[in-house]
Amino acid sequence: MSALLGLALCRAGTWLNFLKNPIFMSTTIVPGTPGPVSQISQIPEAVIRIAGNSQDGIQAIGGFLARLAGRSEQEVMTFMTIPSTISGGPSIFQVRIGSGEVLSAGDEADMLLAFYQHSYDNHLGSLRKGGVVLYDSDHVKELQPENLSKYRHVGVAISGLTVEAIGGSGRDKGKNVFALGLLARMFDLSVPKLHKLLEERFTGKDPSIVQNALNCFNAGYNYTLATAHELFRLKPGENVGHNQVVMSGNEAIALGLLAAGVRFGAGYPITPWSDIMEMLRRELPKYGGIFVQGEDEIASVSMAIGASYAGRVAVTGSSGPGIALKTEALGWASMAEMPLVIIDVQRGGPSTGMPTSVEQSDLNIACFGGHGDSPRVVLAPSTVEDCFYTAIEAVNLARKYSTPVILLTDQGIATRIEAFPEPDLKKVCQDISPDLSPIADHKPYDLSAPDGITRHIAPGTRVASGKYPVVTGLEHDELGHPTGSPKLHIAMTSKRRSKLQKLGRELPVPKVYGPSEGQILLVGWGSAQGPIQEAVKTARAAGEAVSGLHIKYINPLPEGLEQIFEGFRHVFVVELNDEGLYGYGQLAAVLRARYCNPKIRGINKVDGLTWKIREILDRARALAQ
């Protein structure tokens, strides 16, 4: 089950118990004819922000909306903030549903659903002028008079009505599903599809629970929105013709690893990486695999490296602090040239930092973290779909180049839910079982290998010559035996470097988004891709010569970037990290070091939130002055 559903279920658990209340069970509400409403407007997309406390199950509403959009062939992207405290606390979930391409979670919301006074106070400003705030009038008591004309206010006694609708037990759990009904009414969403989603969610449970959830939804749907003068209808989606799946980036990574043939993983819990390990722990046994919760990150990376050595690329992962702990072992994997996949779901750092905020400040540790010269591959997926495929690529690169590969994602994509075309799993799934057949002779670190790449044979492989290899962190000869020879250290260091230089030459050259010449090139990586592309679209619509460039392969970098940069007057690297001691973010510093090009400058921020389109453009315009 998806992490999202899991989350929703644990929240739902409480109100489900309450739904079992016999009084409630006897109440059946069927959808009737909605109340009188003046106008239905066709809209191409909608940004809905749901603000409440994390225990209210607002992620579940968001999840339902995202899945509904996926089934309606609409594009969808979500954004959420979750408090890091376990006892709940303010939390938001923003869904952007569009009939065309959706590139970011949206700068401004069309609609705000506010459960509490704090939700109203803190998020009213996120609405566009003329947007609708739908608030729970049982909790939101003080409206801002100056904003009454700016935003359309619709007060509904959500808590009280929920209690009333489901039997008056005095508890308002279940108001998330009631609110979903209200939203369904306002946005003219498909009731049969939402019913089906609710049914699917609760299948396997007591059938009366499904019925009760439906009743709760219907109560919200049938509530007459007397004060809402306008209802909305989303234009039908354009992406007809393929099935869509809806999931979070973390889920996509876990599923990608399974598709790639990974059958062993080890990790230690840390937000936001934990979802991936939890999912792998649940899923791997079905494939004959194991996921071990290690005693710490060092043990986890070591187990994964041991399993990789035993013949099949294994995975470990973490977030900032845990990645730091893994770096000594990463150095070993670099030295021994052991394939390995390390997932780093970045969060605000350093140290425990901002554990539930988005930041891209681990690029340095991913590319350079560790002692000695320890080349490794670093990849950064940009969307949920990309997470799935990049996880597979990470495995393939680790195998092909016998190297550790770090997959760098961030809190932004990790928890965001998106719809994407369903992969053809029969084609995508791959078998990476080790070849244990006997071999005449073998030198893993063969300096004369035509392609210059190290290849290991797994234990269990008989070597007819009787000469067995050792894998080691000491500098070694071709069989892996230790050496202090400067000549060999030079040759082996070069071997480890050259194979990744070779990879650099094989990497696809990224394509410019927009014309290949202009004033400003916005360069980004990871989750910045969508916002940058949307910024480019917005700027070009306003007649500005702005293009975008997304860099997925961070280390080594692909070739051809220099030529791309030549087409622009300014190259701005848009990153969620600090401008650093010398004025450049982490990728910008690498690009400057590589190209010595003074055009390269940084647009950085560390407010823990994803990019707004307006922010990028305002900063770019100011910098280009």
- Interface residues for other proteins in 241-280 (CB under 8 A)? 243-247, 251, 255, 258-259, 261, 263-264, 266
Shortest distance, position 131 Cβ to other proteins, whole Å? 30
230 or 296: CB nearest other proteins:
296
Q: What's the CA gap between 624 and 519, in Å, rounded? A: 8
**Kind of pairing, strands 39-43 and 90-98?**
unpaired
Shortest distance, position 285 Cβ to other proteins, whole Å? 4
Shortest distance, position 399 Cβ to other proteins, whole Å? 6
Q: Which helix (H) or strand (E) holds 42?
A: strand 39-43
Report the C-alpha dihedral over residues 291, 294, 296, 302, rounded to 10 degrees: -80
Residues 489-528 that bind other proteins (CB under 8 A): 507-508
Binding-site member from 206, 230, 296, 607 for other proteins (CB under 8 A): 296
Residues 427-446 that bind other proteins (CB under 8 A): 427-432, 435, 437-442, 446
Shortest distance, position 103 Cβ to other proteins, whole Å? 16
129 or 371: CB nearest other proteins:
371
43 or 429: CB nearest other proteins:
429
Q: Which stretch binds other proteins (CB under 8 A): 104-112, 302-310, 349-357, 534-542?
A: 302-310
Token readout for 246 is 């809806």
Q: What's the CA gap between 262 and 443, in Å, rounded? A: 25
Shortest distance, position 565 Cβ to other proteins, whole Å? 22
Residues 25-84 that bind other proteins (CB under 8 A): 67, 70-71
71 or 592: CB nearest other proteins:
71
- Tell me whether residue 425 is exposed, middle or buried, using C-beta atoms within 10 angstroms of its C-beta: 0 to 12, 13 to 18, 19 or more: exposed
Q: What's the CA gap between 334 and 497, in Å, rounded? A: 10
- If one counts every other C-beta atom within 10 angstroms of the C-beta of residue 30, the result is 8
121 or 328: CB nearest other proteins:
328
Shortest distance, position 452 Cβ to other proteins, whole Å? 8
Q: Which helix (H) or strand (E) holds 58?
A: helix 58-71
342 or 620: CB nearest other proteins:
342
Residue 561 binds other proteins (CB under 8 A): no
Report the C-alpha dihedral over residues 296, 392, 263, 323, rounded to 10 degrees: -10
| Coil, helix or strand at residue 314 | coil
Shortest distance, position 552 Cβ to other proteins, whole Å? 9
Reply yes or no: is the peptide bond before residue 459 cis, omega within 30 of 0: no
115 or 291: CB nearest other proteins:
291
88 or 434: CB nearest other proteins:
434
Token readout for 534 is 């949307």
Residues 185-214: x where in contact with other proteins by CB under 8 A, - otherwise, as a string: ---------------x--------------
Token readout for 169 is 């037990």
Residues 441-480 that bind other proteins (CB under 8 A): 441-442, 446, 449-453, 455, 457-464, 466-474
Query: Is the distance from CB of 499 to CB of 444 less than 8 angstroms?
Result: no
CA-wise closest residue to 103 among 527, 573, 621 = 527
- If one counts every other C-beta atom within 10 angstroms of the C-beta of residue 182, the result is 24
- If one counts every other C-beta atom within 10 angstroms of the C-beta of residue 598, the result is 8
Number of residues that bind other proteins (CB under 8 A): 106
Binding-site member from 290, 324, 447, 624 for other proteins (CB under 8 A): 290
- Going from the C-alpha of 235 to that of each of 44, 225, 239, 530, 534, the distances in angstroms are 5, 22, 12, 22, 20
299 or 589: CB nearest other proteins:
299
For helices 175-186 and 58-71, angle between their N-to-C axes, nearest 10 degrees: 40
Residues 305-344 that bind other proteins (CB under 8 A): 305-312, 314, 328-329, 332, 336
| Coil, helix or strand at residue 410 | strand
Q: What's the CA gap between 571 and 518, in Å, rounded? A: 10
Shortest distance, position 393 Cβ to other proteins, whole Å? 5
206 or 422: CB nearest other proteins:
422
Residues 377-396: x where in contact with other proteins by CB under 8 A, - otherwise, as a string: --------xx-xx--xx--x
* Chain centroid, CA 272 distance in Å: 10
Shortest distance, position 435 Cβ to other proteins, whole Å? 7
Q: Which stretch binds other proteins (CB under 8 A): 142-150, 181-189, 424-432, 527-535?
A: 424-432
Shortest distance, position 191 Cβ to other proteins, whole Å? 18
